[in-house]
Amino acid sequence: MNTQTIATPQQAPASDRLTAATLLRKFAASPEAGVVTACVLVFIAIGLAAPTYTKVGNLQVMGRDLAQIGILAIGEALVILTGGIDLSVGALAGLAGILAAWFNVREGLPAPVAIVITLVICGAVGLWHGLIVTRLRVPPFVITLVTFTVSEGLALAITTGTPINSISPLFSRVSSFRIGDVPLPALIFVATAIVAWFILERTYVGRQIYAVGGNAEAARLAGIPVARRTIFAYVASGVLAAVVGVLVIGRMNVADPSVGGSGWELTAIAAAVVGGAALTGGEGRILGIAAGAILLELISNGLLALRVSPYDQQIVQGAVLGIAILADRLRARRFGSRQVA
């Protein structure tokens, strides 16, 4: 008589528990575990304390805000991965909005043409940064700080301190358009993250960027075009700053020269670092960096939903971010030591 082995009801759950435990351990050992977990906990905690926090309208607001922070953070992260820093992204985004509006209103160019010209100009600024850093060996901190100052000055000089009104409705349509309930700017952020992930994780260019940030001299001796990869990162940062500038003037329906001085560059750097990017270069992944930007936005919007005093918001933000970074470092030490052993 043929006999068959039949899994008992007790065996299947045991297998499932093993699989779940394995997946959980893999997640906990990943570099992004701390910041992703922090995102979930912050969202749940604030959602329970402030019911309006999870409403569709507020989530849409967060999606538009996230696009600004997240896209800048991705551009900043590319530069950080090469071992550099870009302090100009906030001011450059503000200048990009002014340039797009000026080309559209003062020069009478169609909005799409004005946007393309703005992207090219900001990309050229990134090219300038890359060339100065790689050819003249000027520290990235110095040259990008110069651009930060010049960009703020140009924004005021072009507008004489007066906002540019009557911009094309196309700008506002891009910022306000939704696919279902999801704002288009949030989808642009997701698309940017996917493209950056693909470049860094699935192409030789991405691997070479990590190598340059890890050890530029070793990368050069290995035949990697260090200068080209560094320049690529700065150009990408400049172009993404321009994208943010265009989204901002569409959302405000006006090009305000004061927008570039709002400290976005520090927020972008913070998002990248919280997401696991090492300021020394060569370490960090797009998933973590995107999660870092999401965490900053969840905290920022959540403090408003909880009606926390503006005087206390920065203290709370700093404390939460500090806890997230500490938890991530403790996780890295624990799982890192086990792997070494």
Give 126-154 pLDDT, tens digit per residue: 999 999 999 999 999 999 999 999 999 99
CA atoms within 13 A on the CB side of 34: 22
Residue 53 resides in a domain? no
Contact 71, 271 (CB under 8 A): no
Which carries the bigger pLDDT value, residue 17 or residue 61? 61
Which carries the bigger pLDDT value, residue 26 or residue 234? 234
Residue 31 resides in a domain? no
Mean pLDDT in residue range 234-245: 97
Identity at 43, one-letter amino acid code: F
**Band (331; pLDDT cuts 50, 70, 90):** low
pTM: 0.88
Over pLDDT 70: what percentage of the chain?
87
Strand partners, 179: 182
Residue 316 resides in a domain? yes
Residue-wise pLDDT for 287-309, tens only, equals: 999 999 999 999 999 999 998 88
Give the C-alpha distances (Å, rounded to integers) separating 278 from 190, 297, 329: 22, 21, 12
Token pair in block for residue 136: 């003249």
* The pLDDT value given to residue 39: 92
Domain extent for 124: 58-326
Residue 268 resides in a domain? yes
Residue 43 resides in a domain? no
**3-state SS class at 314:** helix
Give the lowest-confidence range in 74-88, 239-253, 275-289: 275-289
**Band (266; pLDDT cuts 50, 70, 90):** confident
Token pair in block for residue 188: 């642009």
Residue 334 has pLDDT above 80, yes or no: no
Residue 119 resides in a domain? yes
Q: What is the tally of structural domains in the chain?
A: 1
Residue 319 has pLDDT above 80, yes or no: no
Which carries the bigger pLDDT value, residue 126 or residue 311? 126
* The pLDDT value given to residue 308: 85
Token pair in block for residue 81: 């991965």
- The CATH number assigned to the domain holding 225 equals 1.10.3470
